[in-house]
Amino acid sequence: MRRVWMNFADVPFFNRTIPAALALLVAGAAVILTLFNLATFFVVGREFRSERKILLHQRQRMETLQREMGERKAALEGRDTGAFAGEVAFLARLIEAKRFDWPRFLSDLERVKPYGVMLTAVTPKVKESGVVQVQLRGVANPRGELLKLEENLFSDPRFRAGKLEGEQKEPGSPWVTFSMTCEYLPEAPREP
């Protein structure tokens, strides 16, 4: 039997190949996007769950710290703070004696030091009165620069009692090695 390829219907047949291909394409895209969405959900969800665990841990830690702080505050309120006043005053005096303003001291020392003087050692010792005993060792070229240093120490209000303890001229050299002491007054006003 031979097939007849003629269309005897009143209305021509609709070609279903193109709509079926489009429907499969849309369905495939929907499946791929759904799989991508699920993968993103699990990856981001894992990060979200780990961040929630961290936040929960931090909240528990904060509650623990607040509880401990409350306990310690209650313990401190129960103590007699007047008993600690003597210790605090002693420590304040000790800290005041140990405190020394190096930048200001070195700035003042640099201001009185002439160009031809190089200091090799600076040793300050703070006395209880607040005055700082300073021992200076260095070299000067020529000797006139050493005398200028001594003169500057005497004329500056922040320094007093400059005393040259010793000097030695290097043979065959213009350099003079010296050692001197002076007192530094950190609270004295600067010279204008």
More confident residue, 149 or 129: 149
Q: Is residue 38, in this structure, part of any structural domain at all?
A: yes
Strands 117-126 and 159-169: unpaired
Tokens 């904060």 map to which residue? 62
Together in a domain, 73 and 134: no
More confident residue, 102 or 146: 146
**What's the pLDDT tens digit per position in 168-189?**
988 888 899 999 999 988 776 6
Q: Is residue 126, in this structure, part of any structural domain at all?
A: yes
Total structural domains in the chain? 2
Kindly report the CATH number assigned to the domain that includes residue 146: 3.30.70.2830
Which H or E run includes 126?
Answer: strand 117-126
Average pLDDT over every residue of 8-26: 79
More confident residue, 98 or 117: 117
> Hey, what are 156's tokens?
């500056």
Check: CB of residue 138 under 8 Å from CB of residue 123: no
| Residue 161 region by backbone torsions, left for phi larger than 0, else alpha for psi between -120 and 50, else beta | left
Instruction: Identify the domain containing residue 15 by its residue range.
Output: 1-79
Together in a domain, 65 and 2: yes
**What's the pLDDT tens digit per position in 27-78?**
999 999 999 999 988 888 888 888 899 999 999 999 999 999 999 888 877 7
Q: Is residue 90, in this structure, part of any structural domain at all?
A: no
> Hey, what are 70's tokens?
């409350």
DSSP state of 114: -
- pLDDT of the residue at 77: 78
Amino acid making up residue 56 = L
Together in a domain, 154 and 110: yes
CA distances from 99 to 94, 130, 183, 186 (A): 9, 10, 17, 11
- pLDDT of the residue at 124: 85
**What's the pLDDT tens digit per position in 105-136?**
888 899 999 999 999 999 888 777 777 889 99
Task: Provide the pLDDT confidence category of residue 6 given band limits of 50, 70 and 90.
Answer: low
